[in-house]
Chain A
Amino acid sequence: MTVVELDPSGPSWSASSDVPRPITVRRGFGDRVFRGLAVAAGATTFVVMGLIGLFLAVESWEALQVAGAGFFTDSAWLPTDDPPVFGIAALLYWTVVIAVIALVLAVPVAIGTALFINEYSPRWLRGSLTGLVDLLAAVPSLVYGMWGFYFLQPRLIGLSSWMADHLAFVPVFEVRTDKFASSAFVAGVVVSLMVVPIVTSVVREVFSQAPQGEKEAALALGGSRWGMIRTVVVPFGRGGIVGGSMLGLGRALGETIAVALIISPVFEISPRILEQGANSIAAHIALRFGEASGVALSALVAAGLALFVVTLVVNSLSTIIVARSRSGQGIEL
């Protein structure tokens, strides 16, 4: 028997050509056109994003020159004084406070709603409930703001004063006035209503991807439905909960008109969320934009730039977190 010695690099490749070879792809005409259109559409998003950032940077340059580092540390907003004093410290603070209140209320409700729709509601109701939640996300924030102002606020005051009476040992629930309207708390509640649908829809989507095999395993071990949810669905959806919450945070930080309708603006930083007076970057810009010019206008644009950067960072983080989690594979935010 003859043994054939095989050249390990194959018959037609000499050892010197052991480098990755270029791969050429010949595309058809239609494919090229479509590819071009898709690339252009994708690029547009980035260009627009860049242009917005650039515009904000250019227009806010004047104010940033005037205020210097004080723009981040000052709480007052007196751009027409001589010398002008203005900074986003208090605005940013209250923006975050309102957003955090909104999330603390919205996330548990959203998780509960998502679990109810996916795991407990009868099948025939599931589609309509999902649609209803999406519909809530489409209600204009002005409507939430008006409803919050006229309907909800008078009914929340009792709760606010109860919390001030009983929970005042926690500094955030302390009050130094008897005015409970137009507070960060009321604004936070109204914003939470707007955030619930967004968070719910992300969380529900993620929960619904929980592997059937693991769910059945938990039930077959004698687990109750709630046990199954705790063991399989929630751990699986953890990334989605975090990502969805951050997406909601992005929305809450940028919420404008509803907050503007409810708060009565203050420019000092205080931990007391129940008493009258709060603020937010977006609401502040909306309230002052009409009458501003010169440095004052530039200062508002600079505040807008700060908000733009913060929400961009929050949204990017949320996308990264969702995409990295096991449940996020294949889910688009």
Chain B
Amino acid sequence: MAVSESAIPVRDEVVPEQPSREPATLVASNVSAWFGDRKVLESVGLEMPARTVTALIGPSGCGKSTFIRILNRMHELVPGASLAGSVTLNGIDIYGDELPPTETRLRIGMVFQKPNPFPAMTIAENVLAGLKLSGIKVRDRDALVEECLTKAGLWNEVKDRLKASGGSLSGGQQQRLVIARALAVRPQVLLMDEPCSALDPTSTRRIEETISELQEEVTIVIVTHNMQQAARVSQQCAFFLAAENEPGRIVEAGPTEQIFEAPRDSRTADYVHGRFG
């Protein structure tokens, strides 16, 4: 198997001077999920290729967040939650014993709907927080902070106040700070669950640009309620739907153009044209 070739540098080697980890392909097969006895996802399969932005769309409550949280083992932190199926990162089963959950989450980063910087830390400390949490040493902290903030499109706005509290930024800036923080650990995949739904249009634009710029170095999976956003940023799209009292399923997945212009399923057409949801 191709596992050994794609082996990721061990932690101590992860220093900013080195090229970042290669973006990886994430494959979910046959994923089902439950909260207690309630099944909320059924047999979801999706390949999220490297160097591609995959958008997950669908009405509220159809299991998009549940699915994306399964991709980096956040789902199991909810009491009573369980799942079936498998998720592989470049062929390695992330639910197997090859990767500890902390290592999985280090490789597959996540940005949440609500910006969640650490308010007790400065802006610079926030960027470095993931490294500190994992005990990764950095040779040149300042360079890494600048690099990540630049990638997240925040550098120019905060370069003069890196020592200010992370909580002192606006919502849109906080979300970009959180993206910078996620990038600092050099993830192979970045999951984003409605990263712009709490933001103003300008910040949203800025983050969309960031996503496009990051695409070459990290695989991106983004949940969005905004059809235009999905069309603008993604190359691949998966439409989730849950019928009443039934678990969510993927109705249709494929290249974004096809989903928006020539969907095969009439429900997809209705959804992307705003006829429900």
Contacts and interface: CB of A to CB of B under 8 A. Distances in A.
Interface of A: 123, 211, 213-214, 216-224, 227-228, 231-232, 235-236, 326
Contact of A216 (B74, B103, B133, B181): B74
Contacts of A220: 72, 74, 105, 109-110, 112, 182
Most interface-central of A214, A221, A224 (chain B CB within 10 A): A221
A219 to B, nearest CB: 7
A231 B116 CA distance: 13
A214 B72 contact: no
Contacts of A213: 112, 114, 116
B6 to A, nearest CB: 18
Interface in B158-181: 178, 181
Given A211-B116, A217-B117, A219-B77, 11 more contacts: A123-B79, A220-B105, A221-B129, A221-B130, A221-B181, A222-B103, A222-B106, A222-B107, A222-B130, A231-B129, A326-B119
B89 interface: no
Contacts of B102: 222-224
Contacts of B132: 231
Nearest to A222: B106
B116 A235 contact: no
B260 interface: no
Q: 3 tightest A-B contacts by CB? A: A222-B106, A223-B133, A221-B130
A227 B185 CA distance: 15
Nearest to B136: A222
A161 B118 CA distance: 46
B199 to A, nearest CB: 15
B118 A217 contact: yes
A231 B125 CA distance: 11
B118 A231 contact: yes
Contacts, number: 68
Contacts of A228: 133
Contacts of B109: 220-221
Contact of B133 (A214, A227, A236): A227
A232 to B, nearest CB: 7
B11 to A, nearest CB: 10
Contacts of A231: 118, 129, 132-133
Contacts of B117: 217
Most interface-central of A218, A220, A228, A236 (chain B CB within 10 A): A220
Nearest to B114: A213
B134 interface: yes
Interface in B206-247: none
B146 to A, nearest CB: 19
A123 B130 CA distance: 28
A80 to B, nearest CB: 57
A227 B117 CA distance: 15
A183 B72 CA distance: 55
B118 A222 contact: no
B123 to A, nearest CB: 15
A222 B110 CA distance: 10
B116 A221 contact: no
Contacts of B181: 221
A231 B120 CA distance: 9
Contact of A217 (B77, B107, B112): B112
Most interface-central of B105, B120, B133 (chain A CB within 10 A): B133
7 contacts: A214-B116, A219-B74, A219-B77, A222-B105, A231-B129, A231-B132, A236-B120
Interface string B86-120: 00000000000000001101110110101011111
A221 B77 contact: no
Interface in B109-159: 109-110, 112, 114, 116-120, 129-130, 132-134
Interface in B53-93: 72, 74, 77, 79
Given A227-B133, A236-B120, A221 B105 contact: yes
A223 B102 CA distance: 6
A228 B181 CA distance: 15
B118 A232 contact: yes
A222 B185 contact: yes
Contact of B116 (A216, A227, A236, A326): A216
B82 to A, nearest CB: 14
